[in-house]
């Protein structure tokens, strides 16, 4: 292990590993330590959303993730069932079936992919290890951290041998999960979003069980699904397919007042599945549903220590935003640290992290809680599992109600693509009032602070594939951009020009010049070069005059 590096990442979960890969891709000397000796073994997150896939594509990992996740032909449907092998009440097909070419809310070249965290993390670990400038150390925990005049000094310990080492770093990324020692180090507390409510479902103690059940698909007699919500008056829970063949994670709502450790897990799973086929329990553990927490601060006053992922915000998993928002944190922070390392970034980049990401943390955290309120509030009809035409009608009506009230959980294009940093100190905000933040139907906006609306290039590539690694200026038509080039040259600022025919400018773009940050967000746009392009570039690179 190196005794000094530019960045020290504490935590080797998906978010810390993604930060390490992004920093490695940008050539930043980085050390990652993780108290775990290996990547996670029990399933948690099940999906890399479309925004995460856009970043993973840039890092060359999207194909591997698609190959290791659920097989591409496997149904991505969500169902509502009385038991896994019981009655199907309703089914939501995925809202996207093909890559949208400029229409509808899923405007991306990278659709989401269902992949279990137990399969994702090894891909990320291998990728982080592949960079010479990234020093990955699993089985090392942080014992102490001292703030110094020019960074931090960490004392780390090998969890197996007890050997201790010291590492100096200029910046620390706290990707150390829900209990985050880094959060405690910067003196920040978690605050709850809203009041905690004990609910019949997704409000209290949950038990997660990873099973192998080779006969389950056939026993169900139903078309396959990725996610099945199990609803009856005896047990509530859900299943998530892990390999599309024989492995599932099964979640059970532990009834109020019951200690999960006293449960007969075989009996619980049998009740949820509604079948007596054989299955094997591979692993299990408790978690708490229906709570969302957010750290009151995302960074230290010194701007040396930054919290990302579960260390910064802990969500209830409905809507699938915990890890994915954490990946957004890592992508927001990594280019800023890289810009400082490479010498073209200024101090305002660091100061901007919390102001850009904490509002997103709050926004995304509310979604899971809203979904929990909906699902936890359903009144389950007495005859839901009975036979006969009356019960058939009850099931049909109940299924319709489930789909109608719960569909927002999956139609998250607005949440995913619509993150905007309109109040950021790094952008030149539009003067017009911001449009509403529609969480469920993404409408592309070319506003400063928004993710640049996706479009296809004439050669069929995604516009994101044409951007440079650092700042990019997208130029539509023959507009004069030479003053931008000159200002960038004077500052030794890496600025990639992306030239497009004027006729190729999509309707969503109002301007011929669009300055795009490394994380795809728009820093500035205008019909012509501004009077002072240096001021625009200086603000975007965190070095305002």
Q: Are 81 and 87 in contact (CB under 8 A)?
A: yes
Q: Is 430 helix (H, G, I), strand (E, B) or coil?
A: coil
In the complex with ligand FAD, the residue whose CB is nearer, 33 or 522, is 33
Least spacing, CB of residue 381 vs ligand FAD, in Å: 27
Comparing CB distances to ligand FAD, the nearer of 158 and 197 is 158
Q: Is 193 exposed, middle or buried, given 0-12, 13-18 or 19+ CB atoms closer than 10 A?
A: buried
Q: Which is nearer to ligand FAD, 210 or 481 (CB)?
A: 210
Nearer to ligand FAD, 74 or 456 (CB): 74
Q: Is 368 left (phi over 0), alpha (psi -120 to 50) or beta?
A: alpha
User: What's the gap between Cα 363 and its chain centre?
Assistant: 13
Min separation Cβ 285 and ligand FAD, Å: 9
Strands 471-476 and 513-516: what pairing?
A: antiparallel
To ligand FAD, the closest distance from the beta carbon of 13 in angstroms equals: 2
Residues in CB range of 100: below 8 A, 6 or more apart = 106, 107, 108
141 or 222: whose CB is closer to ligand FAD? 141
Least Cβ distance, residue 161 to ligand FAD (angstroms): 15
Residue 227 burial class via C-beta count within 10 angstroms: exposed 0-12, middle 13-18, buried 19 and up? buried
**Nearer to ligand FAD (CB atom), residue 319 or residue 453:** 319
Q: CB–CB of 453/510 below 8 Å?
A: no
Dist CA 410 CA 351 (whole Å): 33
Which class for 241: exposed (0-12), middle (13-18), buried (19 or more C-beta within 10 A)?
buried
Closer residue to ligand FAD, CB minimum distance, 206 or 540: 206
Residues forming contacts to ligand FAD in the complex (CB under 6 A) are: 10-16, 33-36, 44-47, 117, 141-142, 175-177, 181, 208, 287, 309-310, 317, 320-324, 326
Could you give the CA distance from residue 140 to residue 133 in angstroms, rounded to a whole number?
Answer: 18
């Amino acid at each position: 292990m190196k005794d000094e590096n530019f960045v020290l990442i504490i935590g080797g979960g998906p978010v810390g590993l993604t930060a390490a890969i992004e920093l490695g891709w940008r050539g930043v000397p980085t050390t990652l330590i993780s108290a775990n000796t290996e990547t996670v073994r029990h399933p948690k997150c099940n999906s890399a959303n479309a925004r995460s896939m856009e970043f993973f594509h840039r890092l060359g990992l999207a194909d591997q993730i698609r190959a290791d996740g659920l097989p591409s032909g496997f149904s991505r449907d969500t169902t509502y069932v009385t038991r896994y092998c019981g009655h199907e009440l309703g089914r939501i097909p995925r809202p996207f079936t093909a890559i949208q070419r400029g229409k509808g809310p899923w405007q991306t070249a990278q659709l989401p992919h269902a992949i279990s965290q137990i399969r994702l993390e090894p891909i990320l670990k291998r990728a982080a290890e592949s960079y010479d400038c990234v020093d990955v150390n699993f089985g090392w925990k942080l014992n102490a951290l001292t703030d110094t005049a020019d960074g931090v000094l960490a004392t780390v310990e090998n969890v197996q041998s007890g050997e201790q080492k010291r590492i100096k770093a200029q910046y620390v990324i706290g990707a150390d999960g829900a209990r985050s020692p880094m959060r405690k180090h910067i003196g920040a507390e978690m605050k709850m979003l809203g009041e905690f409510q004990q609910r019949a479902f997704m409000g209290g103690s949950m038990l997660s069980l990873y099973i192998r059940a080779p006969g389950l698909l056939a026993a169900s007699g139903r078309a396959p699904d990725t996610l099945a919500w199990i609803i009856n008056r005896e047990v509530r829970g859900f299943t998530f397919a892990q390999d599309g063949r024989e492995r599932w994670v099964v979640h059970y709502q532990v009834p109020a007042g019951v200690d999960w450790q006293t449960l007969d897990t075989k009996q619980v799973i049998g009740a949820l599945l509604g079948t007596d086929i054989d299955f094997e329990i591979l692993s299990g553990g408790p978690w708490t549903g229906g709570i969302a927490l957010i750290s009151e601060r995302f960074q230290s006053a010194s701007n040396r220590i930054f919290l990302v992922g579960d260390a910064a915000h802990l969500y209830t998993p409905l809507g699938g935003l915990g890890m994915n928002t954490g990946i957004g944190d890592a992508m927001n922070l990594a280019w800023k640290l890289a810009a400082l390392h490479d010498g073209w970034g200024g101090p305002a980049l660091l100061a901007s992290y919390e102001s850009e990401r904490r509002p997103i943390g709050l926004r995304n955290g509310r979604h899971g809680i809203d979904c929990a309120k909906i699902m936890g509030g359903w009144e389950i009809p007495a005859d839901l599992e009975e036979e006969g035409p009356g019960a058939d009608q009850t099931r049909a009506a109940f299924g319709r109600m489930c789909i109608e009230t719960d569909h927002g959980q999956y139609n998250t294009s607005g949440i995913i693509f619509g993150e905007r940093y309109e109040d950021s100190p790094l952008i030149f905000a539009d003067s017009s009032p911001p449009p509403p933040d529609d969480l469920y139907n993404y409408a592309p906006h070319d506003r400063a602070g928004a993710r640049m609306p996706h479009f296809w290039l004439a050669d069929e590539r995604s516009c994101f594939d044409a951007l440079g690694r650092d700042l990019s200026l997208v130029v539509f038509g023959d507009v004069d951009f030479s003053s931008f080039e000159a200002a960038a040259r004077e500052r030794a600022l890496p600025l990639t020009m992306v030239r497009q025919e004027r006729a190729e400018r999509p309707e969503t773009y109002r301007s011929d010049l669009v300055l795009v940050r490394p994380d795809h967000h728009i820093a500035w746009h205008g019909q012509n070069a501004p009077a002072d392009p240096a001021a625009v570039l200086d603000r975007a690179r965190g070095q305002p005059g």
